[in-house]
Amino acid sequence: MIGVFFFFVGVLTLAGIYAILAMILNLEAGWAGMWDLGIAGLLAVGGYTFIIVTQTQSDDVVFAPGLPMWMGIILGSLAGGVAALIIGVPSLRVRGEYFLITTLAFAEVIRQLAVNLNSITRGTVGFNQFDRPFEALAEGRGYRVLLLVLVWVVAGIVYILMRRLVHAPYGRVLRAFRDNDPVALSLGKHTNRHRIQTFVLAGLLYGAAAPLYLWFLRIATPSIFSSEVTFVAWTALVIGGIASKSGPIVGSIILLLVTESVALLQGSAEFAVVLASTRFIVLGLVLILVMRFRPAGLVTEQQSLAAASNRVQVRSS
């Protein structure tokens, strides 16, 4: 029974992390119309920067400054932003499909770098011993609950941030050029500057969120930054409702609960392998069902933002 409780603590922690990723993805894809397939790449840039500058395992690596955790988070965030700027400037000038391909390729390049830059990243072995925040407050299983709370506090902050962005003129401009770029241009909107600004912001946020992912998994290896991360975040967003405010959270919780609960059907060791692959079947099934019966997702943009104009008006007049 206790085991089941802690199992769900873990699932909900992971759901919180995916809710954060899906909310950031929603900013770039749902509102700004930039279909980013390189989430795992930006997360890896942030995560590796964090772990490299903060880690204290100095054996077989050439660079281990051992900076404090808060500096690691800031540097990880900045690295995510800089990476977004470098890939965003050339790929956002051209049509949307190029952005999609560039980001997908970028994520793979970053993963290969992580595998091959042995003397900095420890290659496929990666890092598996690192400090986590507030470890003095709770031990063992208790820390899992603490991490759950920490992750959801961050998710709440990201939600408030996103709400602030989408209801501002900034968010309105994003949704406008997502729907019709030429008309936005004809209204004097420098749409490309908005796109780059938004993608860099997304990079900063992915970078800042990456340590949570590492603290949860307690490892930092190239394999945890595979494209699976990107596709789970995308699926959560689509199920929950792209371009709505709460959709990414709803989608992440449902998706992770459904797919991870498969693991509760424990059986023999051979069965475990079958179960592991079942997760993707379940994921696909959930996606198909939602697309069939609620193509705009469980929470729609209209539900989430239609009443927004009234609220803004009251404040401004």
Partner 1 sequence: MTAILEVTDVTKRFGGVVAVSGASLSVPEGAVVAVIGPNGAGKTSLFNVVSGFETPDGGTVTFRGSQVHRLQPWQIARLGLVRSFQTPVGFPALSVWENLMVAGSAREAEPVLAALSGRWRDREADADRRANELLEQLNLHDARDLRLADLTPGDIKLVDFARQLMMQPRMMLLDEPASGVDPASIGRLSGLIADVRAQGITVLVIDHNIGFVLGIADHVHVMALGEVIADGKPADVIQDPAVVEIYLGKRA
Binding site for partner 1 (CB under 8 A): 161, 164-165, 168-173, 175-176, 179-180, 182-191, 194, 197-198, 201, 243, 301-302, 306-307, 309-310, 312-313, 315-317
Q: What angle do CA 231, 233, 235 make, to 5 degrees?
A: 65
Output the smallest distance, CB 176 to partner 1, in A: 4
Output the smallest distance, CB 198 to partner 1, in A: 7
Tokens of 34: 């930039």
Q: Given the complex with partner 1, which of 114 and 184 has the nearer CB atom?
A: 184
Contact 215, 16 (CB under 8 A): no
Q: Given the complex with partner 1, which of 12 and 27 has the nearer CB atom?
A: 27
Q: Given the complex with partner 1, which of 31 and 130 has the nearer CB atom?
A: 31
Output the smallest distance, CB 302 to partner 1, in A: 6
CA dihedral (307, 309, 315, 317) positive or negative: negative
Q: Given the complex with partner 1, which of 192 and 227 has the nearer CB atom?
A: 192
CA 98 to the chain's CA centroid: 21
Q: Given the complex with partner 1, which of 186 and 268 has the nearer CB atom?
A: 186
Neighbours of 286 (CB within 10 A): 18
Name every residue whose Cβ is closer than 8 Å to that of residue 300 and which is 6 or more positions away in sequence.
Answer: 241, 244, 247
Output the smallest distance, CB 315 to partner 1, in A: 6
Buried b (16+ CB within 10 A) or exposed e, 11-43: bbbbbbbbbbbbbbbbbbbbbbbbebbbbbbbb
Output the smallest distance, CB 272 to partner 1, in A: 44
